[in-house]
Amino acid sequence: MSTLLLLLASNVFMTIAWYGHLRFKTAPLWQAVLVSWAIAFFEYCLQVPANRLGYFGKYSAFQLKIMQEVLSIAVFMVFAALALGETPRWNHGVAFGLILAAAWFGFLPSGAK
C-alpha cells in the first residue's frame, strides 16, 4: 500500500510540474522551467522510494511502471478538469478504460518460471 500511495503522491507533483505552468500563459518560459524543476524535485523524493519499496517488496519493474502510468493518467484527468477547466470526453474515458484493461493483464500471475 505504501508503494501505491507514494506513487500517487509523486504523480500529483509530476502532473503539477509538467502541466501546472499552462495556467500561467504570460510567465516566461525560463521561469516555467525552473519552477517545474523545483516541483519535480519533490516528485523524485517520493517516486524513488516508491519504486525501491515496491521492487524490493513484491512488484516487478514492469508492474511498477504499469502502476505509475495508470496513476499518472488518473491524476492528470482530475488535474485537467480542476486546474485547466478541461472536461474529459467519452473517448478519453474509453481510452482510460482500455489502459486499465491493459494494466490488469500486467498484474496477472505469470505462471511457472
**What is the rounded distance in angstroms from the CA atom of residue 99 to the CA atom of residue 113?**
26
The answer to the question of residue 112 being in a domain is no
| Residue in the block written with cell 516566461 | 28
The answer to the question of residue 113 being in a domain is no
The answer to the question of residue 22 being in a domain is yes
The answer to the question of residue 111 being in a domain is no
Q: Give how many domains the chain has, as a whole number.
A: 1
pLDDT along the chain (113 residues), means of 10: 94 95 94 96 96 92 94 95 94 94 90 53
Q: Which domain holds residue 74?
A: 2-106
- CB-based contacts of 61, cutoff 8 Å, min separation 6: 55
Whole-model pTM? 0.86
The answer to the question of residue 75 being in a domain is yes
70 Cα distance to chain centroid: 7
The answer to the question of residue 33 being in a domain is yes
Residue 11: exposure state from Cβ atoms within 10 A (0-12, 13-18, ≥19)? buried
**What is the rounded distance in angstroms from the CA atom of residue 23 to the CA atom of residue 25?**
6
pLDDT of residue 1: 77
Q: How many CB atoms lie within 10 A of CB 98?
A: 10
Q: What are phi and psi of 108, to 5 degrees?
A: -70, 150
pLDDT of residue 57: 80
